[in-house]
């Protein structure tokens, strides 16, 4: 009986290993499917996701995550309404969204659909609004066990900028570190006008920043930004005194 159990266990293990081996390497351009990525790659133009794309990184022997790198003048991903992007164990870096209108939204991701990140890092990216991501009305953005660090927005939302009454934003066990809003509000994140479903769970931190304000029902666009250290609680400070690194 014990011998038979071992045979079953071995067969199950072989099957699991076979399934894992069948997951293809992502070519850093395909927009639909389930993939793994084991090496760095550079994306020279944004990838537009209209279906479902799931990419899981395979860390190297030292535990370094594979990098998905922007080409220096483009964001990495745009998720259209109805599209879904899931990234796991990846380092997304070097995205740029510096154009006019929506071309300036989200240095790494401009999300109109659903975006989910797990055990990933988002670094050294720039957007006019939302250094890492901007989610428009109806979009859903989730960060789990991730880090957003050293990103910059020209205006609002050094790291993230969700907006609109039916937008969902959730961060769990996630760190916002040394992100900067150069001219306006929200070094770490900027929640704009009655955003629906904004939640923070687990050990989610703003590092190197002020304590965030509570959500205000009258002025929700002033909630959870880092401009309240040297003025009345939850009111924006004069430009000469407000800290903007979060």
Query: SS3 sequence, the chain?
Result: CHHHHHHHHHHHHHHHHHHHHCCEECCCCCCCEEEEECCCEEECCCEEECCEEEEEECCCCCCCCCEEEECCCCCCEEECCCCEEEEECCEEECCEECCCHHHHECCCEEECCEEEEECCEEECCEECECCCEEECCCCEEEEECCEEECCEECCCCCCEEEECCCCEEEEECCEEECCEECCCCCCCECCECCCCCEEEECCCEEECCCCCCCCCCCCHHHCCCCCCCCCCCCCCCCCCCCCCEC
pTM as predicted: 0.76
User: pLDDT tens, position by position, for the chain (246 residues)?
Assistant: 444 444 444 444 444 344 455 899 999 999 999 999 999 999 999 999 999 999 999 999 999 999 999 988 899 999 999 999 999 999 999 999 988 888 999 999 999 999 999 999 999 999 988 888 888 878 999 999 999 988 888 887 778 888 777 788 888 888 878 787 777 666 666 665 544 445 555 555 554 433 333 333 333 333 333 333 222 233 343 343 333 343
């Amino acid at each position: 009986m014990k011998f038979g159990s071992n045979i079953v266990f071995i067969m199950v293990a072989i099957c699991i290993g076979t399934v894992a081996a069948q997951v293809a390497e992502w070519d850093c351009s395909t927009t639909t499917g389930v993939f793994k990525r084991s090496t760095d790659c550079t994306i020279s133009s944004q990838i537009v996701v209209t279906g479902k794309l799931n990419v899981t990184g395979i860390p190297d022997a030292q535990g370094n995550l594979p990098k998905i790198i922007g080409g220096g003048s483009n964001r990495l991903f745009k998720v259209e309404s109805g599209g879904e992007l899931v990234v796991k164990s990846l380092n997304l870096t070097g995205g740029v969204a510096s154009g006019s209108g929506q071309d300036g939204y989200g240095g790494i991701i401009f999300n109109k659909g659903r975006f989910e990140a797990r055990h990933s890092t988002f670094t050294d990216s720039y957007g006019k609004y939302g250094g890492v991501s901007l989610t428009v009305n109806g979009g859903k953005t989730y960060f789990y066990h991730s880090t957003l660090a050293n990103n910059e927005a020209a205006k609002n939302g050094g790291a993230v900028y969700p907006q609109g009454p039916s937008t969902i934003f959730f961060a769990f066990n996630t760190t916002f570190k040394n992100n900067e809003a150069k001219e306006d509000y929200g070094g770490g994140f900027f929640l704009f006008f009655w955003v629906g479903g904004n939640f923070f769970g687990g050990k989610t931190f703003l590092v190197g920043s002020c304590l965030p304000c509570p959500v205000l029902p009258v002025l929700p666009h002033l909630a959870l930004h880092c401009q309240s250290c040297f003025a009345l609680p939850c009111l924006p400070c004069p430009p000469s005194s407000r800290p903007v690194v979060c």
